[in-house]
Amino acid sequence: MSEADSANGTPPANYRFMLAVVIILGALILIAFGVLAGGMLLGAGREAGIVTDQPYLTVLPAPAAGWLSEAHVDQGQLVVRIDGAGETGGSVVVIDADTGRVIGHVELEADQ
């Protein structure tokens, strides 16, 4: 700060610039905090799930002489193994446990 600036009471230009930057960034932080708090109060970001009173129904294709040999849940997915007799060795079906949608279907070949 020079003697001339301090004598007449006006701050130097770089001081005014930094003061403006601090005020603008402070205002942006307050706005961001308000948006964050508003989103938390209004429930933004929640999964919009379908809520019904009825359970879902998923029909799995299986061979005529097939039977359910194994089923387990892993990371929200139901893995079902269906063994069959004859030409097919069975299949493995992966189902989304939340919606009942069939995600994948793997046919197993019978031993020759």
Q: Which residues of the chain have pLDDT under 50?
A: 1
Residue-level pLDDT at 26? 97
pLDDT at 42: 83
Nearest CA-CA partner of 79 in 63, 67, 66, 95:
95
Burial class (CB in 10 A: 0-12, 13-18, 19+), 83: middle
State CA 4 to chain mean position distance. Answer: 61
pLDDT score of 12:
78
The reported pLDDT for the residue numbered 25 is 97
Amino acid at 102: V
Q: Measured between alpha carbons, how far is 110 from 55 in angstroms, rounded to an integer? A: 34
What is the token pair recorded at 97? 């446990």
pLDDT of residue 99: 79
**Cα 79 from Cα 102, distance rounded (Å):** 10
CB 63 within 8 A of CB 47: no
Q: What are the tens digits of pLDDT across the range 34-48?
A: 999 988 888 766 665
Domains of the chain by residue range: 3-42, 67-109
Q: What is the pLDDT of residue 74?
A: 80
Tell me what pLDDT residue 22 has: 96
What's the whole-model pTM score? 0.44
